[in-house]
Amino acid sequence: KEVQQGSVIYLALEDRRDRISWRTKATKELLNIEGKIGDLTVHCQDDEWLGTFKNGGLEAIENWIEEKDNPRLIIIDTYQVFSGIQQGGSDAYQKDVEFISPIQVLVLKSGVCLIFIHHLNKQGSFMGSQAILGSSDWHISLDKKEDESYGTIKGKGRDIEEFSETLERKKTSPMDK
């Protein structure tokens, strides 16, 4: 699909640099892409980067937005790692709203799209409070079975038509498990 070009930052907060490098190589092979993939900044859990909300992650993202000529997309993988463990006080819904609010302000002010990666439970249901879904403009879920060669991607939200598609998993090499 044709997309707007610009700078992207991907916070792979549950992955080490070597795993992301391998996955990037495999994806480039699968899509037959050579060379650098645009203006992509990747931070991993083993990098020296402020990777959570509580230790300055939001300010670091704001600085990234200010430094780039054309910032377009922020991907935070995962919501739970970035938000951190929230202690005492109010209910889970209220805590999620309080966490998400400054991020919404940043996104609306900058015009940059933000994608939070968040896990589903073993039954395929959304984990956490409904504030996460209620605060987002749209959400997409990927349900895949470990022993199957396909998965289902579903999406719905304020600005997109609800959809459901089956995706086939392709191996990038004979060594791919």
**pLDDT (0 to 100) of residue 64:** 94
Predicted pLDDT at 110: 95
Q: Are 51 and 45 in contact (CB under 8 A)?
A: yes
In the three-class reduction of DSSP (H, G, I as helix; E, B as strand; rest coil), residue 74 is classed as strand
- pLDDT value of position 2: 79
What's the confidence (pLDDT) of residue 127?
Answer: 76
Task: Decide: 108 and 136 in contact? Cβ < 8 Å.
Answer: no
Q: Check the CA dihedral 45-48-54-59 and report its sign.
A: negative
pLDDT of residue 11: 93
Q: 10-residue block means of pLDDT along the chain (177 residues)? A: 86 91 85 82 83 86 94 92 72 85 93 88 75 82 76 84 85 60
DSSP-derived letter for residue 76 is E
So what's the pLDDT on residue 122? 74
pLDDT one-digit tens code per residue, 49-93:
767 888 888 999 999 999 999 999 999 998 888 988 666 556 888
Both tokens of residue 149? 């060669």
Please provide the distance, in angstroms rounded to a whole number, between the alpha carbons at the two ends of the chain: 28
